[in-house]
Amino acid sequence: MITEIKTINERSIAEAVKILRSGGVIGMPTETVYGLAAIGTDSRAVEKIYEVKGRPSDNPLIAHVHRDYDIEKLVFVEQDYIPRLMNEYMPGPLTLVMRSRGIICKEAVCGGDTLALRIPSHEGCQALLRAADAPIVAPSANISKHTSPVTARHVYDDLNGKIPLILDGGKCSGGIESTVLDVTEKVPRILRAGLITREMIEKVAGGCEIAEHKDGDKVKSPGVKYRHYRPRCRTALFKEDEIEEAKLLYDKETASGNRAYIMCRTPLANYFEGKNLLLLGTGGEEIASNLYERLLQGEKEADIIIAIDMPREDGVYLGITNRLRKSCG
Ligand code: TXA
Ligand code: MG
């Protein structure tokens, strides 16, 4: 199969809709990461997503709808804080897990009774969702466990030959996947941290918990139990107070002829003068938007990425450290 990359516009969207309606799977942009899309009511098409990604069949998918879609067609909106959250943060990088009405096929929810629902803010994606006139399920458009793609080219690098079309909507502005929030109970609970932070949710919903994932727990969001986001090169992770150790490893690797890169936030650059660097930027949003791109650049150029962890875990940093530790730890 030949994989084409086409700029997202009216014509390419019409072509995408044709493929989707005939049971195909395509790459689509969102504001977080690129998705691997199929019509959510088409069991055969959804099975293709799992095949193409090599995704474990116990890890459910997110359903994406446009901003005017009546979500009560798909889920039961049971908590009074849900409309407030939607008002404030949707469209945007927030996914709500609610009780499903069973319209989305069972393959997409792995037989479960809940559905994860998201309204992407990416304008091209909105146009696609409107044109398709159906909910589209999509995981990140990478081979399972690999780093998530934030450009059409990244999708191509992973899925070339496996899908017919990738809609190119530019580099994703968000850079890490949406916050997944369980809203089936009185207090919402973050299953996967992201750009919509605990603090932002608390402000609107009055409270917010963070799910803890310990070994042996019954897993509520199956995706979080897997090692994830891994670049295809060796990695190491150091804390910010272990800069000397990171330098020692860099020098040792370089001395044995390996290409080593330090990945860190930009303010630390001066500690690593003369070394190969993958700089992440300064503020939380900037670091999130650059993280996967630097990992994917790093795996092409480096034998080992030596990453320096973030000094904090509040706000957006919770999502960043979660990805950084799973990708490099
Ligand atoms: O930003 C995003 O969310 C991107 C873009 C493409 O929308 N999508 C994405 O999908 O990251 P994926 O499949 O890579 O991650 C979905 C996460 C997984 O951790 C999965 O376990 C969780 O959402 N999830 C999906 N349905 C769920 C459900 N019914 N209950 C609990 N967790 C669910
Ligand atoms: Mg993913």
pLDDT in tens, 8-62: 999 999 999 999 999 999 999 999 999 999 999 999 999 999 999 999 989 999 9
pLDDT in tens, 290-327: 999 999 999 999 999 999 999 999 999 999 999 999 99
266 domain residue, yes or no: yes
**Same domain assignment for residues 57 and 165:** yes
Distance 45 CA to ligand 2 centre (A): 18
222 domain residue, yes or no: no
Confidence of residue 284 (pLDDT cuts 50, 70, 90): very high
Identify the residue whose C-alpha is closest to ligand 1 atom 3.
178
Ligand 1 pocket, CB under 6 A: 30, 32-33, 35, 59-62, 95, 97, 109, 112, 114-116, 118, 138-140, 177-178, 180, 191-192, 220-224
List the CATH number of the domain containing 170.
3.90.870.10
Maximum C-alpha span of the chain: 61
Identify the residue whose C-alpha is closest to ligand 1 atom 12.
139
List the CATH number of the domain containing 324.
3.40.50.11030
- Structural domain including 241 reads 234-328
